[in-house]
Structures are given as structure tokens and as C-alpha cells.
Amino acid sequence: MSPLSETRSAPRQAGTPLAARILAGWLERITTGQLTLCPPRGPARTFTGSRSGPEAELRLRRPARVLARVLHRGDLGFAEAYMAGEWDTPDLAALIELLIYNEHAYNASPAGRWYSRLALALYHRLRPNTPTGSRRNIAAHYDLGNDFYELWLDETMTYSSALFAEPEQGLAAAQRHKHAETLRQLGARPGEHLLEIGCGWGSLARAAAEAGVHVTGVTLSREQLAWAREHLRTAGGAGRAELRLADYRELAGRYDHIASIEMFEAVGREHWPAFFATLQQRLRPGGRALLQVITIDEAAFPVYEQAPDFIQRYIFPGGMLPTLGHLREGLQEAGLELEQVSAHGGDYAATLAAWQRRFNARAEALEALGFGERFQRMWRYYLGYCEGGFRSGRIELHRILARRPDA
């Protein structure tokens, strides 16, 4: 959502705060979907676009604070108002999706005033993904504690999009299906050696080891590594898998296959060439690499690159989504041949919806771990923000299979 530089005067309604009337004036411009605005006092108003789309509800608790935040901080201010409990909605994903569809109706910067844009840009630049910076940035997200993630991830402890073989498939089964598809696409056979860059809690490594594939997995999260090693031993796959704390730039040797599942988003744009070069250097001739990457729409990238968003500020410091074009170009410049590209945004939207339900159901347990209301609202916004992004097509999930040519 972005503020208007100029707005039409909203009709005056008795008992409705001025800020709510100004916000209503903005919403009169929507062209897609339907939004119901519920002020703290006075009647609700419904705004309907000329084109069908999602239906959402925005419940204002402190309209003046919401308005001030949006005017000064744009999209980020809107998110911060939610974190502060100044507005609410029964369906975050639907609201975000609707606002994305209608952003063309607004004509001011999505990052708010110039000083907010400058502050955000400086914050992002101060979180570079150098070897040292990457460890700090990863720790900020993944070292929240294994107890935190165990509360709401599925039993496989997989923190990336599932691939659903059928719409009604359970989340854990869909994650296992993704692991099996990854090994199948790579053509990984028993006895071959797979490198996983960004192994997380080791779910793919366990699946590969169970299939007889040798695995070397690397992560920058100490919390993840400790959990993954322990559960690898419990699963009996320790003899075929080695998981270690390492940066992808520190790796040596050659591997039959490489998998990297939703790690590229944390690489940082200035380091993309080094990542692609690593794939080429670590693959044996004829070997394949499979990347699963969240991408952003080509048309949205220029603004996104210049104005760090909610995810970069609060969830993944130092992160940067590529476009599909960036991935194609980077792989080709590294001397790798693209063999297959597929899109799975619907799978990610379904995964995020499942995570949101699980997260919401564990509110008391999260509170007991020390994750209070503001933190929980930040994460609920994060999950809904991403789900709405995938449903709108602003972001997409791509799986890309590439091959190093034979020598």
C-alpha cells in the first residue's frame, strides 16, 4: 500500500475520525476486488472495484497513527502499524493481495518520504553479505531458537515451500514429495555425492542419505546445525552425510550434484556472481544443480531494489530477491546450461497459509518462550505479506535445473 500525494475529499460521516475519512478517500480509487473499512467509531464502508478480485477487511483501531505512519514510511509504515496493533484484519493475505492489485491507483513512493527512503537504504547497505556479514544476517533470523521453529513448522522441520502432489496433501507429505522430486530431477543415484548449499535443519540431507546418496550440507546457523546433526544421527543417516558450519565461498572439491533450496535470497546482489561461480566450480562436468528461489516480478524490481521492504527491514536483513531474468543470466554467464524452469507460486501460497494457521494456534506457547505480542504480530504480517505476494503474482517461486557441460 502506498499513500497518495493528492487525495479526493472523503464524504464526511458523523462519528467517523478524520484520519479514517482520509483513508477512505484513498480507498475510493480501488479498481480490483472489494475492501471493507471498519473505523473504531461510525459505520463500516465497503469499496468495490470494477474488476473482480479478493475481498478483504481493514479494521482501524488508531486511524490517526496508521495515517501518520503511512504518510511518513509508506508500505513499511503500514506494516509497523499492524505490528503496533493499530489496525487488524481477519485475513492478512487477502488484504495484501488486494492492495498489490490496486497499487496503480496510488501515486506516491511506496517507501514514504525521502528521509524514510534514505534511512532504509542506509540500513540495508549496512547489512552486507560478506562472509562475516552473512553469518550475522543469518543468525538474526535462524538463530531465534529451534524451539521457536519446532512449534509451527511441520515434523520434517522444512522451512521452504512444499510441492503438493495434490491439493489436499498434508504439509509434511508435500515437503517429502519436494525432497523426492529434487533428487529425481537431479538424477541423484546411490553412491553419488550431493552438495546442499543452505541445508537448514537437514530435511533434504536426511532424505538423500536414506536414498543412498552421500551428502555434504552447509549452513551458517549454529542452531540449525546442532539440530540437523542430532536428527541425522537419530535417523541413521550420519554415515552418508556430513553437515557443517561453512560459507558457500569456503567450499572446495567437486560434486555430482548441487541443491540450494531458498538460500539464494540471502546472498545479496553484489555477491550473485560469486554464488553462480561456486556452482560452476563445485560441479563435476555433466553434473546438475537445482535451485529453488523466490523471485520478484521484473516490473517491480527497480522500485524494490531502491526501497528495501518490510522483509528486508524486519525479517531477512541483507536479503534481495532476484528476477527470473537475473537467474537465467547469472547461470549462463557462469557457463551453466539451463535444462528446466518451473513456477510454483501456488504451492508457496498454500505452504504459507499452513504455516500461518500453525503459528496462530501456538500463540500461548510462543509467549511462554518469550515471543510477545509485537513479535508475533510481526511474524503474522510476514507470513501473510508473503502469501499475498504469491497469490498476486508479485513474487513467484521458481525451480531451476542447470547443468555443467561435459568437459
Catalytic sites, residue numbers: 386
Give the Cα separation of 211 and 170 in Å (integer). Answer: 22
φ/ψ of 14, rounded to 5, equals -60, 135
Residue with cell 553412491: 191
Residue with cell 493481495: 97
Give the Cα separation of 151 and 144 in Å (integer). Answer: 12
Give the SS3 label for residue 36. strand
Q: Are 335 and 407 in contact (CB under 8 A)?
A: no
Give the Cα separation of 217 and 238 in Å (integer). Answer: 12
Q: DSSP secondary structure string, 332-370?
A: HHTT-EEEEEEE-HHHHHHHHHHHHHHHHHTHHHHHHTT
Tell me how crowded residue 384 is: count the other CB atoms within 10 A of its CB.
22
Q: Are 127 and 135 in contact (CB under 8 A)?
A: no
Residue with cell 542447470: 402
Q: Are 241 and 217 in contact (CB under 8 A)?
A: yes
The sheet carrying 214-219 orders its strands as: 241-245, 214-219, 193-197, 255-261, 283-296, 395-403, 337-343
Give the Cα separation of 22 and 10 in Å (integer). Answer: 6
**Number of Cα atoms under 13 Å in the Cβ half of residue 247:** 17
Torsional sign, CA 99, 376, 154, 244: positive
Task: Tell me the three cell numbers of residue 286.
Answer: 555433466
Q: Are 297 and 394 in contact (CB under 8 A)?
A: yes
Give the Cα separation of 384 and 390 in Å (integer). Answer: 10
**Under 8 Å CB-to-CB from 333, ≥6 apart: which residues?**
273, 276
